[in-house]
Structure 1
Amino acid sequence: MPSESPLASLRAAAEGVRQQLQVNAFDAAAVQRLSDFIEQQRPSIKDSEKQGVVTALGCFLGQCLVDTYGGTWAQGPDKTTGVGINRAYFFNPFFRVSEQLAKGEAESVVKFFAGIPERLALKPVRKNWIS
């Protein structure tokens, strides 16, 4: 039996979280529910559970980026998994979830998600030199 593809695994994890959060879509309302869930669970998540929680919730946030902003799951320049948008931007949803788990609402996934259109409106700056 062949192993599941990485993309199928990401989508399956996102779907599992979607069902757990009881939301109908991977959209802004779902990201709000995700943020609320993170805040509710933050105090009780054990260190030994954090990586699994970040992975599952990061898959969900990433799928919200894919469905809402037309992104695709991709590998970043540093070999991390994330979501590429418009072939110019790369976002790491696992990092964003980890930040809210560690720092609370100051690093809310809702603020991050809501800021994506503004980022996409900017032309990416490409360096032609080594800094």
Structure 2
Amino acid sequence: MNEEELQQIEANVSLAIDRLGPVSDVDFGLNEESVEWVDGFIERQRARPDFDLERIGGLVGVLGSFLGACIVAATGGSWRWSEEDGWGVLLPDGTVAFPFVKVRKQFRDGAEEGESIAGFYRVAVDYIATGKLREAREGGA
């Protein structure tokens, strides 16, 4: 794990809160309401005539860091590095959520193709981290 990269993730989270909080209409922070606002923000960016998927790497980094921090705050998870998949959030049930991948997918494919960071957040927090998804798969729910 690279401590410098973790510090960059933390800096990205602060940047997201500092820049997006004042322009949002919600109590912006590490919460579901803010994730939903950012979900809409991504869709609004995709709709811009000058939107260029090739030029959003920095934005994916900032928003992925923010999404991951929201999941960490809600679940008590922690950031983990994977050689195959990069940075993810280790959830209490042992699975890993990859917020940067999801942000990039929503930018690429959009909500109309089923890519939503708000949905990703809810599934990670309400079903995966709690073990409810595993229980349902095993027939216990």
Same fold? TM cut 0.5: yes
Q: Corresponding residue for 1:41?
A: 45
Q: Cα RMSD between the aligned structures?
A: 2.1
For the pair 1:101 / 2:100, whether they are aligned, the reply is no
Unpaired stretches in structure 2, ≥5 consecutive residues: 22-26
TM-score (norm. length: structure 2): 0.77
Q: Corresponding residue for 1:112?
A: 120
Q: Which moved more, 1:65-74 or 1:45-54?
A: 45-54
CA distance in 1, matches of 2:79, 2:32: 18
Residue by residue over 1:31-75, the C-alpha shift from the partner in whole angstroms, topping out at 9 and shown as x without a partner, is 011101101111333234221111111111111111111111111
Q: Corresponding residue for 1:128?
A: none
Give the number of equivalent residue pairs: 122
Residue by residue over 1:71-128, the C-alpha shift from the partner in whole angstroms, topping out at 9 and shown as x without a partner, is 1111125251111112611111011101111111121101111112212324499xxx
Q: Is the 8 A contact 2:77 2:90 kept in 1?
A: yes
Q: Is the 8 A contact 1:76 1:90 kept in 2?
A: no
For the pair 1:56 / 2:62, whether they are aligned, the reply is yes
**Aligned-partner residue type, residue 17 of structure 1:** A
Question: Where do residues 1-131 of structure 1 align in structure 2 (5 Å cutoff)?
Answer: 5-22=4-21, 23-44=27-48, 45-76=51-82, 78=84, 80-86=86-92, 88-105=94-111, 106-116=114-124, 117-120=126-129, 121=131, 122-123=133-134
Unpaired stretches in structure 1, ≥5 consecutive residues: 126-131
TM-score (norm. length: structure 1): 0.82
